[in-house]
Structure 1
């Protein structure tokens, strides 16, 4: 609607331009949504992309208050026992593949992390940790599970890519 007052003649033109801009924007949005942009691909196209399925995993109990919710498939318990008054360890393996988990007394972080050769800092379950090589072979991650209690997960070289996933799956009754 164009006003009758000659001093306000420019308001009608602005209204027409605003309506035109609104129409253009609505058209662009319609074209984007109708084009399929951002939609999942159909199954026929998605089948061409190889998908890595994770292997079946198991639950591994290390002690009454520490367990692993992820353990690579094909590993069976092959050892374990008590460490001192407040610790335990368990070993799961088959062939040249093994996972060893320990929960043990640790007086302080500085002394506990010294057992890792070629250590580099990382985080496990929100706690400071170090990862590196075990002097006897394999890779490991150590962290303080709680004050005075250290956790260690060690794997053989063939399971090196699984180390972080195994350590991240550690659970305990307090704080998890």
Structure 2
């Protein structure tokens, strides 16, 4: 009788203990920027200054059509929609990253595409913050970028063993 043996490949991950915590921190920081934006600007922003009121009134009266024959929207509506949408997207990006890594820790393997996208997203927010946002957003997005970059370059290493 001939014996047939099969060897199953199992994968394991050698991990730097700090990688998951640092990656979580980066995601939480980006999510916090989105949440803070929604709360500070749209939920609890307070009264606008007279100059802001004048701009709001003018932008509410200025309409545009983004698609020929489409619905007319005011510049105020577009600005508000973009602002709320980006705040929501920032908050949810952080949550999706956290939940994804909790469900599949191998996503934060060194040099992974997932990590690369997180670095690029955080660096993009940092660049935009440098150009247009106040100092707290610059600092928080810089820290998030550093967190993701550290895990991307020096984090866990995926190893295949037999």
Same fold, judged at TM 0.5 (above): no
Write 1 or 2 for the structure with the bigger share of helix. Answer: 2
Larger CA Rg, structure 1 vs 2: 1
Q: TM-score range by the shorter chain?
A: under 0.3
What is the TM-score with the length of structure 2 in the denominator? 0.26
- Which is strand-richer, 1 or 2? 1
For CA contacts below 8 A with separation 6 or more, give which structure has more relative contact order. Answer: 2
TM-score, structure 1 normalization: 0.24
